Amino acid sequence: MSAGGWDKFMKNGSFSIKEMYKHLQSDLEKVSWSRVLCQNQASPRSLFTTWLAVNNRLPTRDRLAVWGIVAIVNCCLCNAAPESVEHLFFQCDFSAQIWSMALKALQFNRNPSPFSNELAWAFKSAKRRFAKHQLFLMYFAESLYAIWLYRNDQIFNQNHINMTAAVLFREISFKVAC
Ligand SMILES: [Zn+2]
């Protein structure tokens, strides 16, 4: 096999089951990914934002601060913690309220959890056919997108409008319904 083949399963010169397993795991993750994104009927823009969030490519303040681009790291929605993907979705009080409304609307009897956990729920939902789980995926993507847009508006638009979590949730529900 060529250099791009077996050598990814080699460690210290010998074939490693562990390396192969790790590789298969990442392939499995890719499959889960494509399910979360491709079987999702949310808008393309919200799916793109979801893809960026999942790959930690959103320009959140914690990342910008590392590059020395911004000095302020706190979340502009709550000002209570550094802004990161995990915080924005959905540890932040403001977005936790939104996600809690979505979970309630979908009759999931649990509280919002940090992004990586919600992502695990999304993986599970992507394997299921019930409308409730398909709606979960749409709400997930549309909520990420709406919260990200709202956050951008708060930071970059001097004439931004302050919304309550309930108002933003209604907007998200409207997009899902469409
Ligand atoms: Zn916050």
Which pLDDT belongs to residue 4? 44
CA of 172 to the centre of ligand 1 (A): 19
pLDDT tens-digit readout, 108-155 = 999 999 999 998 898 888 888 788 888 999 999 999 999 999 999 999
CA of 59 to the centre of ligand 1 (A): 15
Which pLDDT belongs to residue 129? 79
- DSSP classification of residue 87: I
CA of 159 to the centre of ligand 1 (A): 20
Reported as half-sphere exposure (CB side, CA atoms, 13 A), residue 127 has a value of 9
CA of 100 to the centre of ligand 1 (A): 15
Which pLDDT belongs to residue 17? 59
CA of 51 to the centre of ligand 1 (A): 21
Provide the 3-class DSSP secondary structure of residue 81.
coil
Q: Average of pLDDT values for 31-40?
A: 67
* CA nearest neighbour of 105 among 143, 146, 49: 143
Q: Average of pLDDT values for 65-73?
A: 87
CA of 144 to the centre of ligand 1 (A): 13
Report the percent of the chain where pLDDT is more than 90: 49
CA of 113 to the centre of ligand 1 (A): 14
Which pLDDT belongs to residue 139? 95
Q: Average of pLDDT values for 98-105?
A: 96
Mean pLDDT of the chain: 84
CA of 76 to the centre of ligand 1 (A): 6
Look at 103 and 25; give whichever has higher pLDDT: 103
Report the percent of the chain where pLDDT is more than 70: 80
Q: Which stretch of 13-27, 43-57, 86-100, 120-134 has the lowest confidence by average pLDDT?
A: 13-27
Amino acid at 66: V
Quote the tokens at residue 61. Answer: 């303040």
Which residues, including other chains, have CB under 8 Å from residue 110's CB and lie 6 or more apart?
Answer: 103
Which pLDDT belongs to residue 99? 97
CA of 77 to the centre of ligand 1 (A): 5
DSSP 93-110: HHHHHHHHHHHHHTT--S
Quote the tokens at residue 156. Answer: 């970059």
Q: Is the per-residue pLDDT at 170 higher than 70? A: yes
Residue 48 burial (CB count, 10 A): 13
CA of 25 to the centre of ligand 1 (A): 32
